[in-house]
Structure 1
């Protein structure tokens, strides 16, 4: 998950748009594409796996193919926006997500579902990257409120996680085993409703992407940091893919599943206040290491028990850190590179992260199939995040602070 994959030169917001209202509207693309499109899958995975006879590897593959689509979409986003414009990229990507969610409700065919998950990834990337870059230009046009304004966009996935967490478990409980397709219809209809405001507000902009050359960004000085972000991508997605199945296997019913997922979603709303001082640290990878270490702690807690209190603490600790990691990588780039290098640097971060979240679900699913318990999936998830924290801690500043505008 990365919002500021590309940075625009023109920092003026589109005319006739209130900054907070516009960013909240843009965040709906993230709500649909990621909060619902990517993460709601974990809520229906247990029922789909039972009804369709999937292995954990097959279940993990559905998030792997989604991540492949997201990575491809993120890499094509800048060209897409140049070709069709900001509004078409954001609206079109989000509509594609709604259509793919509807397809998930129409079939149990593995290949058709894989295609739907792929399209969801591409559409989410188009809406999320374009919306995030435009939100950044809007936020930067109000320097005194920039952090607050941009945090409104970051809350988008959390809103989707919260909404799906309140709907999916109770829908499955009401309609019984094999009702996963009804949940997908509910998610498609909810997403369609959330897409409407994107067509009711002007979201076009004169902002253009910078054309920084890739030669100005060197990978070697930040190789360890890229490795940390790769490990985060692999570790977080394993937790977010299989955790609901773990809660259900431990006896958690609809209320427990809804509460757990909703706590993760609600954590998005407190993230900016919890981490604002940590994100201000200009000490190499220290901020990312602290946040990733907290993320690893949250992921490891369910290993020690299934109690409601224990799982609730895990959801809050994981969620608060999860939503802050992307912000820490953006802060790292801003502290260590001049403005003209930001697009290349953040693109490199996106690729590293994308590869990690592509490999994570299917590898962890295969490990679970071999060893026979979801506890191993959580162990691997927590270990990957802890390794990521240690790698980030080894990252030093790339250049003196005084050289950054």
Structure 2
């Protein structure tokens, strides 16, 4: 993880951070999450089981975890510009590969590589955004929230393109959607090459400060359950909407509502994120996430699905910030890199196992609704686990604006 020490001056910090957020838009909002929009047509056309369909997001999560673990070394060796731009270009190449083949192995490799590129670009972009934000203490939280809105932009934009492309070209046109998403990503990537990306900030070497897993084991378990639960919802929910008779407009509206939620989370959770009471803030947000994931159990009505998307999205985009706040409240700055690395690994393992496990359950029980039941249950258990977490140390002085990480 990171510990920037010399932020770069910039006359337009908001514009620069918004541009950096396009790396997250491409790698996560489009690269990872838009797969759910294409999954139903791919599964039918290629004859996949739900387990096989889930595996595509599992292998993507494996790549993301691997990329996150090596990102700091790559930044130290290659520099900020190469990490951000190079990682995003890798995502573009992987997206294009998804449009070129229906071979399961080739698609799996493309999803793996996409995850690696997305992680490197996201970690580098987020670290640089945090560095810039800390140069403006009075606006630091707002500026950093601009970067973390990047995935929401990708979710919203891909939701406006993919369902209607599938409707226009008909069954078996999933590869055309991947081309459309590749072109969209190409447009989103262009501004990254039109700005100056440089900084004197450096990732610190691994801290030797004391960090023990045992006092936060229950919290790590909750974050693991979040990783497993959220990705199941984000993988299979569009298939559920479609199976319930939702047309392209319904799918686009549902996906768009999740994306729009990213833009309101900083204001919705401002007070909650300030709570210095162990895992309480994370528990509240995860509980909200679980409610959103569970609402579709009440039926396929437009109202329930819309409320589910909004409630889930508002919680989903805030969980990462809550874990960062937990680390900042409970540990001195020299321990932050180690503590956040532990959080990242726990989350990464959860989102790696979630899709394929939930897909296997759906195959075994014969109904996609079970995927949502399991997703909501995992998120609820995560909330309970976080609620059991107590403070692990005396309150430390937290720099105004702080740092965020995924």
Q: What range describes the TM-score normalised by the shorter chain of this pair? A: over 0.9
What residue number does 1:9 align with? 5
Q: What's the CA shift for 1:226?
A: 0.5
What residue number does 2:32 align with? 38
What residue number does 2:217 align with? 223
Cα 1:152/1:404, change in 2 over 3 Å: closer
What residue number does 1:58 align with? 52
Q: What's the CA shift for 1:204?
A: 1.1
Q: TM-score, normalised by structure 2?
A: 0.97
What residue number does 2:203 align with? 209
1:396 to 378, 381, 390: 390
Task: Please give the alpha-carbon distance, in whole angstroms, between the structure 1 residues aligned to 2:205 and 2:329.
Answer: 20
Q: Is there any run of 5+ residues in structure 1 with no aligned partner, and where?
A: none
Give CA deviations for 1:14-44 in whole Å, capped at 9, x if unaligned: x455211110011000000000000000000
Cα 1:60/1:399, change in 2 over 3 Å: same
Q: What's the CA shift for 1:168?
A: 0.2
- After TM superposition, the structure 1 = structure 2 runs for residues 380-395 of structure 1, keeping only pairs within 5 Å, are 380-395=374-389
What residue number does 1:113 align with? 107
Is 1:255 paired with 2:249?
yes
- After TM superposition, the structure 1 = structure 2 runs for residues 181-200 of structure 1, keeping only pairs within 5 Å, are 181-200=175-194
What residue number does 2:359 align with? 365
Task: Please give the alpha-carbon distance, in whole angstroms, between the structure 1 residues aligned to 2:307 and 2:185.
Answer: 29
What residue number does 2:274 align with? 280
Give CA deviations for 1:265-304 in whole Å, capped at 9, x if unaligned: 0000000000000000000000000000000000000011
CA RMSD of aligned residues (A): 1.0
Task: Please give the alpha-carbon distance, in whole angstroms, between the structure 1 residues aligned to 2:15 and 2:263.
Answer: 17
Q: What's the CA shift for 1:252?
A: 0.4
What residue number does 1:379 align with? 373
Q: What's the CA shift for 1:215?
A: 5.3
Q: Is the contact made by 2:329 and 2:396 (CA closer than 8 Å) also made in structure 1? A: no
Is 1:292 paired with 2:286?
yes
Matched residue of 1:9: which SS?
Answer: coil
Task: Please give the alpha-carbon distance, in whole angstroms, between the structure 1 residues aligned to 2:202 and 2:169.
Answer: 49
Matched residue of 1:7: which SS?
Answer: coil
What residue number does 2:404 align with? none
Q: What's the CA shift for 1:214?
A: 4.9
Q: TM-score, normalised by structure 1?
A: 0.97
Q: What's the CA shift for 1:404?
A: 6.1
Q: Is the contact made by 1:336 and 1:404 (CA closer than 8 Å) also made in structure 2? A: no
Q: What's the CA shift for 1:211?
A: 2.5
2:124 to 106, 125, 130: 130
Q: How many residues align?
A: 399
Q: What's the CA shift for 1:369?
A: 0.3
